[in-house]
Amino acid sequence: MTNEISTIEKSSQRIVEDRLRKISTAIPGVIESYDPDSKTAKCSVNISDFIKGDGSELVENEWPPLEETPVWFPGGSVFAELFPLKAGDPCLLIFCQRDIAEWFLSNGKEPVSPADTEIFNKSSAICLPRLFPEGANEGEAHADNWISWFGNGKKRVVEPNGKKVSYVVDRFDVGSDGASNPAAKGNESQSNFDALAAKMNEIIAIVALPLPPGQLTPIGAMQNVKSDKSFVSS
């Protein structure tokens, strides 16, 4: 009787293990290509899978490519962070509890009935971009600041509580994409206003006193100093 129970337990355990081995939950992946219009990516998995062979041994098996995988971008309401993805970017693939093919073709709000009843299958993956393995730990991170890293030293840094927002970029447009009116440099503009104020004070002093003509120094042309990095649309 004991041997029979032991045999049943082992058989049940093998059945459960075989079933669990077929269930996909989450695994690191690599983006092969990205379609910005559909916001989907073709992804591959570089971690070997194993299937049960003819006997009791496990046989190494490659993952099939995951086509048209929806990409998750952070956002809410009318806001979204959308950024480009390129081949070779590491990602995390999460496999949904139910088939998402019908959901993906909908507006995401109405109820749908999955045609495939298989749970956690490989066709129901969602791609979460930029999962950093130790061997490809790129970009700049900070314990407190929110950093949008653009590469080559270019970045946006937002300090906590909106204390400060810094941009390190070659050009900064305000008002519209491709704004063309160069913004004035603050320190140069202030110096010009200071010079103008000094001249006006000189004129007031001369007008107030009966001085001979010709002693009033003409106001020189004010410099038109413009920034070559900051532009506004109006």
The pLDDT of residue 66 is above 90: yes
φ/ψ of residue 3, rounded to 5:
-65, -35
- C-alpha distances (whole Å) from 107 to each of 39, 91, 93, 128, 135 are 14, 25, 22, 20, 38
- pLDDT at position 197 is 72
Residue 207 tokens read as: 């007008």
**In terms of pLDDT, which residue wins out, 97 or 227?**
97
76 DSSP β-pair partners = 79
The SS3 of residue 232 is strand
Residue 53 tokens read as: 């062979």
Chain segment 16-60, per-residue pLDDT in tens: 666 666 677 899 999 999 999 999 999 999 988 776 666 667 777
- pLDDT at position 112 is 87
Give the whole-number percent of the chain exceeding pLDDT 90.
Answer: 25
Q: How deeply is 157 buried, as exposed, middle or buried, from its count of CB atoms within 10 A (0-12, 13-18, 19+)?
A: middle
Amino acid letter, 144 = D
Q: Where in the chain is the domain with CATH 2.40.50.230?
A: 2-138
The CATH number corresponding to 2-138 among 2.40.50.230, 1.20.910.10, 3.30.565.10, 3.40.50.2300 equals 2.40.50.230
CA 39 to chain centroid = 13
Average confidence (pLDDT) over 85-104 = 92
Q: Helices in 67-156 by DSSP H: which ranges?
A: 101-105
